[in-house]
Amino acid sequence: MNTTMKALRLTAPGEFELVEEPRPEPGPGESLVRVSAVGVCGSDLHWFGQGGIGDAVLHRPLVLGHEFGGTVEGGSLDGRRVAVDPAIPDNDCPRCREGNTNLCPQVRFAGHGATDGGLREYVAWPTALLHPVPDGFSPATAAILEPLGVALHGFDLGHVRFASSVAIVGCGPIGLLEIQVARAAGVASVIAVEPLAHRRTAAAKCGADIVLTPEEAKQHRGEVDVAFEVAGTDDAVLTSMTLVRPGGRVVLAGIPDEDKTSFPAALARRKGLTIAMVRRMKDVYPRAIDLVARGVVELDWLVSHRSPLAEAAAAFAGAVRREGLKTVIEVERYV
């Protein structure tokens, strides 16, 4: 039996090394997962481009990838295709006990800090954080359940009422998923704002009623109840605050390149805006799986680029240039 595997490690900003190393051994309460597919997220691009994110910096060769799924080998889920929840909370702190596991100060997160992620052939992961998916789900679908979970959590923070209006500012994969979630939740209208033409086209396909460039959004006279910022720039935050009505809500999900977000205080104060910050997600995988299984939200069509593990550096570089929609690294093809 082969006891080694291929793993892709980020050794410096913009530099990957494909290495051979021992397969992980599952510990108590863990299962071995043969990784099938890994989605490339905006936060992965921060690690790739800047060698860190926020106050977390690269201090050793790190395996990136927190959007991933695979097939379990051995144990109670043997043979099952699963989506992997990338966050491992301590389940003992006050935040965990109150139900906010995404805010656990001791959380270990795949592809972040000292915790290796999914860009390798095998991972050993807590069995309780493995979510079986229907047989009809593709490997990419299982991986993209994680960003759908972020979109769901962000939508929850918006406190969106039925038949209200929303704006989504930034139509990368999570923004496009947010449009689909909003439509499924029964909003009356959706405004999408995006500078890239191919992503504006995708926003319309997802169900946006009005699709605007950032320049056009500055001239828009309508006001929405809730705005979701999913771009990570100060301009996107300003656009969101401009589009939302007085007394409305702005949900910030984007991660800025610099660890700082700024906006005009007078605008937010005079409108009396409520600002909510998205920290990954809570326990939303069952809801995400159900939405996809019922055909309410579609995921596979978001995948515009597929790449083998050995060509991940080029795939990441393309994602940095915002080519296409979603980039997926197909690990399973090369096992």
> Mind listing the pLDDT tens digit for each residue in 64-87?
999 999 999 999 999 999 999 999
Query: In Å, how far are 194, 205, 224 from 210, measured between CA atoms?
Result: 11, 11, 12
Q: For residue 327, what are its two tokens?
A: 């980039």
- Using DSSP's 3-state secondary structure scheme, residue 224 falls into strand
Q: What is the tens place of the pLDDT at every residue in 269-302?
A: 999 999 999 999 999 999 999 999 999 999 999 9
Question: Same domain for 16 and 65?
Answer: yes
Q: How confident is the model at residue 333 (pLDDT cuts 50, 70, 90)?
A: low
Contacts (Cβ under 8 Å, ≥6 apart) of 6: 18, 19, 20, 120, 121, 309, 334
CATH code (residue 44): 3.90.180.10
Other C-beta atoms within 10 Å of 22: how many?
10
- Look at residue 335 and tell me whether its pLDDT is greater than 80: no
Q: What is the tens place of the pLDDT at every residue in 86-128?
A: 999 999 999 999 999 999 999 999 999 999 999 999 999 999 9
pLDDT of 332: 75
Domain count, the chain: 2
> The whole model's pTM is what?
0.95
Mean pLDDT on 241-261: 95
CA separation for the pair 139, 236 (Å, rounded): 32
Question: Same domain for 160 and 243?
Answer: yes
Question: Is residue 262 in a domain?
Answer: yes
Question: Same domain for 11 and 104?
Answer: yes
Question: Is residue 94 in a domain?
Answer: yes
- Using DSSP's 3-state secondary structure scheme, residue 122 falls into strand
pLDDT of 189: 98
Question: Is residue 197 in a domain?
Answer: yes
Phi, psi (deg, nearest 5) at residue 211? -120, 125
Q: What is the tens place of the pLDDT at every residue in 152-197?
A: 999 999 999 999 999 999 999 999 999 999 999 999 999 999 999 9
Residue 95 amino acid letter: R
Question: Is residue 137 in a domain?
Answer: no
Bridging pattern class, strands 67-73 and 81-84: antiparallel
CA separation for the pair 53, 44 (Å, rounded): 9
Question: Is residue 144 in a domain?
Answer: no
Q: Which domain holds residue 268?
A: 151-277
